[in-house]
Each structure stands twice: as C-alpha cells, then as structure tokens.
Structure 1
Amino acid sequence: PTAGCTTAAGNLALMLYALLWEAGNLVDLPDKRIGFYNFCLWNATTGELQCLEYKHLQVMGISLPGMVLARVCVYACLVFSIFYPVFVAHVKCREEREGWKAILIILIIKMIILSGGLGMFLFQTSQWIHLSDFTGGFLALLGTQALLLLQILTATMYLSWQRATHPSAWGAAS
C-alpha cells in the first residue's frame, strides 16, 4: 500500500528529528534540558544549566540500567525505521502473504519498543518534567507512535483485503 510508504517516510523523518537533530532531548528549555543523553537542571547559584552525571542521578533516584534500557529501546526503533523501507520494497515486489505478516510483526515490535523505552524514560524522570516542559523531540516521538499505529492499521486492513479478494493466492485457511 502506498499509504504505508508515506507513513514509513514520515516515521523515519520524525525519528531522525527527535533522536539526531534534537539529540534525544525531550525537554529543551532555557532552565532545563532532559533527554536520553542529557539531564541538566538550572543551578541558581551559578546562574546556568548544570548537567548531572550518572552518580548524581542515582542519588536522585534515577536508575542507570533503566535509563540505558530506555535509550536502547528508543534508538533500536530508529534502526528498525532506517531499514524498514527496504524490507517493504522487497515484500511489495514479491507479494507474499508471509512477508506482509512479517511487516505487521515488525511494526508491532517497533511500537512496543518505542512505547516501552519512552515509558521507562518518563517513569524515571517524571519528577522533574511537567507536561508543559515537553518540546519538539517529545512531540516528534508522539507523532512517530501515531504513524506506527496508522501503519499497523494499514497493514492489517491490507492483509484482510487481500484475503477477501484473493483467497486462493493467499491461502484460504489462514
């Protein structure tokens, strides 16, 4: 489906924006910068942002393994997104039902790891982030999740349509 290619391109663009252009920062304000690689808070004494090291974050109750796992999940989704269009092109050329099922599985995995990574990150940092603090990187990741959901629905509907219109070619018993 053509809509799948468009949403895949949008998905990749949003992921690249959030994780590379914005450097993984979900909050990037003059008095606060919090992201997958930064945790900087305003220091009133020095009058500037102070970026904290992991030992300080642990004292604040932030789990280092949790933050690393969140980062791995979100950036793994970016890697999947980079190679996903190649896989889709291959499946579209061959028109095999199993290929479309694999596409659906990949989309679901991407949705799970992105949601899981973002959820773990927000759980660890929620004490220092208010809803109004989120900036472009966070909004881009939310947009990515919306597009992933749209891709999942598109792939599911395409499989259902193919099953209904070409039952002999796609296996009637599936």
Structure 2
Amino acid sequence: MVSREHVSTGMGLLQQRCTGQLLCALTLLEAAGALALMFYALLWEAGNLVDLPDKRIGFYNFCLWNETDRELQCLEYQHLQAMGISLPGIMLARVCVYACLVFCLFYPIFVAHVKCTEERQGWKVILIILIIKMIILSGGLGTFLFQTSQWIHPSDFTGGFLALLGTQVLLLLQILTATMYLSWAKHTHPC
C-alpha cells in the first residue's frame, strides 16, 4: 500500500515538473510571436513604419508626396542629408533592428537546447540575450524615430511600427518568463 506521504511527494514533483514545462512552452510561444511580428514588420512591410498614400517612411524608404508631380517621390541619401537626417544614424538604426531579427531567428533553437540539457546557467544566458535584444531593438527604433520625427506624426504609424511595438511587449514578457523560470529552478533545484 502506498502511503499518503509518497502520494503527496509524487504530486509535488509532478506539479514542479509541469510548472517548468509550462514556463518553457510559454517562452517558446512568446519567441514565436516575436519572430512572427518581426517578420511582418521587417519583411512583409519592408521595414516601413509609415505607409500612407502621401508618405512612406521606413528603414529603406523615405518617400514624401510631391505636389508638383502629384506623386510619391522617394528621396536619395544626399537629399536626406540636406534635410538634416544623419545617414550614419539611419544605418545604425537599420543594423540594430535587423540584428534583433537575426537574434529572434536563432533564439528558439538556443531555448530548446537549454531545455534539453536542463542547465540553469543556460537560462541566465537566455535572460541576457533577451535583454540585449530589447536594448538593440529599442535603440534602433529610437534612433530611427529621433532622426525622422520631424516628418512623422503619431497618427501616421501603420502596421510595421505596431508590429515592432508588439515585439517589444513580447520581449518584455519573455524577460519576465525567463526570470520566473530562474526563480522556479532556484527553489526546486537549489544545487
């Protein structure tokens, strides 16, 4: 006959294991959502944060409505510099945001590896990677908006910008989930 202590111990271990699995699954779902939003913003929308009939402004486009020709006119780099937009600033913003996409591509593979090896140190690295992704995405987006703020009104933003904001939210949730996993692992496996 099985004692009540053995049953409660077994249930406690099962609950702890399920909690760890749930946190890991949640991390992967959040990573998949962030990757999907990044693909939408940077590939489907071609990096355009504003895509309206009278202006298209993004990491590769800077097009404004030309009243004389009655069409959208895309400006070259020398015109952007004459308007006070720093070319190195735009390039830095582009590199940061697209580097975050590259991190998002390989991140689920790293999470799966850490989960398979059950290393708590790996989760600390995951947390560091998430913070780096958050910093470079925020820095790139902030740099771009600082450079182009004169030509963009808050009501101009379209799907690409909203997808990048959604990515920021999912990155924050991933940081929270990884922190919860580390806390859970510390209490269940103190060694």
Q: Same fold (TM over 0.5)?
A: yes
Confirm whether residue 39 of structure 1 aligns to residue 82 of structure 2.
Answer: no
Match among 101, 104, 118 for residue 95 of structure 1 = 118
- Could you tell me which residue of structure 2 aligns to residue 71 of structure 1? 94
Match among 167, 172, 186 for residue 144 of structure 1 = 167
For 1:83 and 1:166, the matched residues in 2 are separated by 28
- Could you tell me which residue of structure 1 aligns to residue 12 of structure 2? none
For 1:162 and 1:80, the matched residues in 2 are separated by 25
Q: Which amino acid aligns with 2:76?
A: E
Q: Which amino acid aligns with 2:134?
A: M
Confirm whether residue 108 of structure 1 aligns to residue 117 of structure 2.
Answer: no
Give unpaired runs (5+ residues) of structure 1: 169-174
For 2:187 and 2:107, the matched residues in 1 are separated by 26
For 2:159 and 2:49, the matched residues in 1 are separated by 7
* Residue 98 of structure 1, CA deviation: 1.2
Q: Deviations over 1:25-76 (max 9, x none)?
A: 0000000000000000000000000000010000000000000000000000
- TM-score normalised over the length of structure 1: 0.96
For 2:75 and 2:51, the matched residues in 1 are separated by 15
Using the aligned pairs only, state the percent identity. Answer: 83
For 1:4 and 1:96, the matched residues in 2 are separated by 15
Equivalent positions of 1:163-174 (< 5 A) are: 163-168=186-191
Equivalent positions of 1:149-164 (< 5 A) are: 149-164=172-187
Q: Which amino acid aligns with 1:120?
A: T
Match among 126, 149, 153 for residue 149 of structure 2 = 126
For 2:101 and 2:137, the matched residues in 1 are separated by 9
Give unpaired runs (5+ residues) of structure 2: 1-23
Match among 30, 45, 50 for residue 53 of structure 2 = 30
* Residue 161 of structure 1, CA deviation: 1.2
Q: Which amino acid aligns with 1:68?
A: M
- Could you tell me which residue of structure 2 aligns to residue 18 of structure 1? 41
SS of structure 1 residue aligned to 2:60: coil
Match among 87, 104, 107 for residue 81 of structure 1 = 104
